[in-house]
Amino acid sequence: MEIKYSEKSVKQLKKIAKGDLKSAEMIIKEIENYAGKKPGHFDIKFLKGKYGQFKRLRVGNYRVIFDNDYCVMYIYEVLHRQEAYND
């Protein structure tokens, strides 16, 4: 599955990497594992509210807001858990 990052998500990942490189690497690894259909347990939920049509992938204290079809995974936002659910 191909992974496409929004400009916003790239900026957010760079900001995370600046403060905590290990977390940024962990987020990218989990995204690649999910997109590559690697075996493992992924904490994925369908969202409600303003993110209603999207899913979220939990990676430590961060949440990856994404959507996917059969061949492309679109990453929209990467947020800390405190910021992710404010409507």
**CB-based burial label for 18 (10 Å; 0-12, 13-18, 19+):** exposed
Q: How many Cα atoms are found within 13 Å in the side-chain-facing hemisphere of 53? A: 6
Q: How confident is the model at residue 51 (pLDDT cuts 50, 70, 90)?
A: confident
Cα separation, 64 vs 76, in Å, equals: 8
- The predicted model gives 21-45 an average pLDDT of 89
Q: Per the structure, how many domains does the chain have?
A: 1
Question: Residue 66: which H helix or E strand, with range?
Answer: strand 62-68
Range of the domain at 37: 2-84
- The predicted model gives 42-58 an average pLDDT of 87
Q: What is the CATH number of the domain that holds 32?
A: 3.30.2310.20
Q: How confident is the model at residue 87 (pLDDT cuts 50, 70, 90)?
A: low
- The predicted model gives 46-54 an average pLDDT of 84
